[in-house]
Amino acid sequence: MKTVLVTASDSGYFALLEDWLASLAAVPEGERPDLGVLDLGLLDDQRRALVAAGVQVVTPDWDVDFPDRASKPRTYLAQLARPFLPKYFPAHEVILWIDADCWVQEPVALFWLASAAASGRLVIAQELHSAYWRNYKRSGIYGKYYFYDRFFGAKEAEEFGFTPSLNVGVLALRADAPHWKPWQETLSRILAQESTFYAEQLALDHAVYTGGLPATWLPSRANWLCHLATPWYCPQRRRFVEPTPPFDPLWVLHLTMATKDMTFNVPSTFGGEVRTGLRHRQVGALLG
């Protein structure tokens, strides 16, 4: 099926976007999907460079109206445009999304995203892993419950507020899947109350769990949230891996929160530590 891999960026995120693109170089030519970028404020030369590289660059609209829309920067469209991706890439049957602050370590991630989505199911990873610190903190356990209670009421909070959160940083979905419309409608419902930062993620989470929409849960290594657990490094495989046995290689590293700009003492599976940042350009020598 004709597939496109999409992300979003402004000029300030362009260095991360370059890493995103560079990490895709390992994908075999015949297996590489088309690439698309939502332009949230790129400079002209940045836009031209993307087009020259064969990337489809699209400027998204404000598809949802809400009370304080006029005060929001264009970067907010990174969230608002996501439920409307079939509108922006109408020539494609399957849409993959990977945030620009991610990079792909294992190309197999794209295969599983696209192939699992071909059946019409949402393909996404839950924010759930035994190494994630938030699973053991009251604030983490009750965080989603708080948002459900705030926007959907106590009854739905009790029923769905403790289900694992769905992270929209990496996902795949057919363009004709039934998920898009309830995702859009729930997003509008939330924004009518408050333009919270997590509006589009909460909207998809609610649409899937309350509507019983079909989904395939990928393992956490398909969207590793680095602020919840620092990856380990395996010098034998020259890969960043899960920080728990059997130390499976991570597919996609998501540089969430402050991890974009941090330096870490990354534990090695063979003992000792590696001092490094986690951006793709910073770890090239480690990956070989």
Average pLDDT over residues 182-193: 98
Confidence of residue 131 (pLDDT cuts 50, 70, 90): very high
pLDDT 10s digits, 106-127: 999 999 999 999 999 999 999 9
Last residue of a domain, one of 187, 204, 220: 220
Range of the domain at 242: 222-287
Do 210 and 233 share a domain, yes or no?
Answer: no
Report the CATH number that the domain containing residue 64 is assigned in CATH: 3.90.550.10
Do 185 and 241 share a domain, yes or no?
Answer: no
Distance of CA 48 to the CA centre of its chain: 25
Do 126 and 232 share a domain, yes or no?
Answer: no
Do 31 and 142 share a domain, yes or no?
Answer: yes
Number of domains in the chain: 2
- pLDDT of the residue at 64: 96
Do 48 and 73 share a domain, yes or no?
Answer: yes
Do 204 and 241 share a domain, yes or no?
Answer: no
* Whole-number Å distance between alpha carbons of 192 and 189: 5
Do 159 and 43 share a domain, yes or no?
Answer: yes
- Residue 47, judged by CB atoms within 10 A of its CB (0-12, 13-18, 19+), counts as middle
Do 171 and 90 share a domain, yes or no?
Answer: yes
Average pLDDT over residues 11-19: 98
Last residue of a domain, one of 190, 220, 250: 220
Last residue of a domain, one of 220, 249, 275: 220
pLDDT 10s digits, 147-163: 999 999 999 999 999 99
pLDDT at 202 over 90: yes
- pLDDT of the residue at 29: 83
Nearest to 163 by CA among 185, 138, 139, 142: 142
Percentage of the chain beyond pLDDT 90 is 97
Beta strands at 122-126 and 239-241: parallel, antiparallel or unpaired? unpaired
Do 127 and 199 share a domain, yes or no?
Answer: yes
Do 19 and 149 share a domain, yes or no?
Answer: yes
CA dihedral sign of residues 139, 71, 61, 256: negative
- pLDDT of the residue at 100: 98
Here the contacts of 10-13 (C-beta below 8 Å, separation 24 or greater) are: 10/39, 10/40, 10/41, 10/42, 10/74, 10/75, 11/41, 11/42, 11/43, 11/46, 12/41, 13/40, 13/100, 13/101
pLDDT 10s digits, 40-80: 999 999 999 999 999 999 999 999 999 999 999 999 999 99
Do 81 and 97 share a domain, yes or no?
Answer: yes
Query: Which of the residue ranges 25-34, 71-80, 94-103, 268-277 would you say has the lowest mean pLDDT?
Result: 25-34
pLDDT averaged over every residue in the chain: 97
Do 127 and 268 share a domain, yes or no?
Answer: no
Question: Contact at 8 Å (CB) between 204 and 144?
Answer: no
Confidence of residue 128 (pLDDT cuts 50, 70, 90): very high
Total length of the chain? 288
